[in-house]
Amino acid sequence: MASVLAAAGCGSERQPDAVDRRAAGDSTAASTTPVAVYHTGLTFLGFGADPALVHLRFENRTGPEMLRLEYRGWTAGADAWTPVLAVIDSIPVPRAAWRILPAGPLRLGVEDGGEVASLRIRLDAGGVLRIDGLEEVSAWSGVTGRRESLRSADLQVADRVESGWLLQRQRARFRDEPMSDRLMQTFALADTLGNGLLLLRDRVFGDEAPATAWAWVEGVRLDWSDAVLLALPAAAGAAGSWSFEIRDVGVFGEIRGEEPVLDALPAEGPGFRLFPVRASLVVGESRLSLRGVAIEERGP
């Protein structure tokens, strides 16, 4: 572990782009709000032996006068992803159009900067899904310069209470800008002891693009900006399989996708694909078996 820790490096953070600076201002006139698309993804990964998985997608689209909200969410079951949130609404453009807003069955607690600290979703079947964000584990700038984070969190739904991680990813673009064809990949995995792995890759440069990686092993945090993540041949119908390596450091492993798959990712254009994953990870002399979730997405 000592040699691995010494070789760990940190990537630099980029500054927020023009979309974020203009949209986060205090102007109340709709005409001064940029016509833009803001996307926030929230993913909860539990630390249980059969971990709870929750994925929520929030999209705000500004127009000249109105803000269109499209909020969706799912929990993973044994055979399918079960919808827990489906809201489409339009409201007058607020001062900070990028923020997630209370809508339909969704209620929020937010921090001073607008980041979600807690949320409640009233479920159609009765009861409430509740996620409470706790201590921040890590934070960085995303592909469009917006702040992203990983924090400890608690999930409560029905009679199930589970601790885990809450991952927040964000993107933004002006409506008159062409949508990038980049495929963003996220792999978040953990075990029952709180060891874990987070891999983020922006595949605008193809399958050999480097990934940013964080690992938490026996209470030690490691991070790299040059992880190698390569797709492996997968069996017919499988969600996918990938090898993972930090060269010259003694960190490597393999990630395998599993059912159920929620596939809304076309060959071209915006969409996403969501599925559980398992991984075997070697960090120095430590060997870990992890479970979690993968998100592949394009757009907005």
The mean predicted confidence, pLDDT, of the chain is 85
**pLDDT > 70? residue 33:** no
Kindly write down the DSSP assignment for every residue of the chain, as one continuous string. -HHHHHH---PPPPPP-HHHHHHTS----GGGS--EEEEEEEEEEE-SSS--EEEEEEEEEE-SSEEEEEEEEEEE-SSSEEEEEEEEEEEE--SSTTS---BTTEEEEE-TTS-EEEEEEE-TTSSEEEEEEEEEEEEEE-TTS-EEEEEEEEEEETTEEEEEEEEEEEEEEETTSPPP---EEEEEEE-TTS-EEEEEEEGGG-TT--EEEEEEETTEEEEEEEEEEEEE---TT---EEEEEETTTTEEEEEEE-S--EEE--SSSSEEEEEEEEEEEEETTEEEEEEEEEEEEE--
| pLDDT band, residue 1 (cuts 50/70/90) | low
What's the pLDDT score for residue 237? 64
Q: Is the model more confident about 204 or about 251?
A: 251
For 61-94, what is each residue's pLDDT tens digit?
998 889 999 999 999 998 999 999 999 999 998 8
pLDDT at 32: 57
Least confident of 51-65, 185-199, 218-232: 218-232
Q: Looking at 28-37, 43-52, 128-137, which range is the least confident one?
A: 28-37
- Residue 12's pLDDT is 33
> pLDDT-derived band of residue 21, with 50, 70 and 90 as boundaries?
very low
Report the percentage of the chain scoring pLDDT > 70.
Answer: 86
Q: Does the structure show a pLDDT above 70 at 98?
A: yes
pLDDT at 13: 33
Task: Kindly indicate the confidence band of residue 29, based on its pLDDT and cuts at 50, 70 and 90.
Answer: very low
Query: Higher pLDDT residue, 74 or 33?
Result: 74
Phi, psi of 19 (to 5 degrees): -60, -45
pLDDT for the residue numbered 206:
57
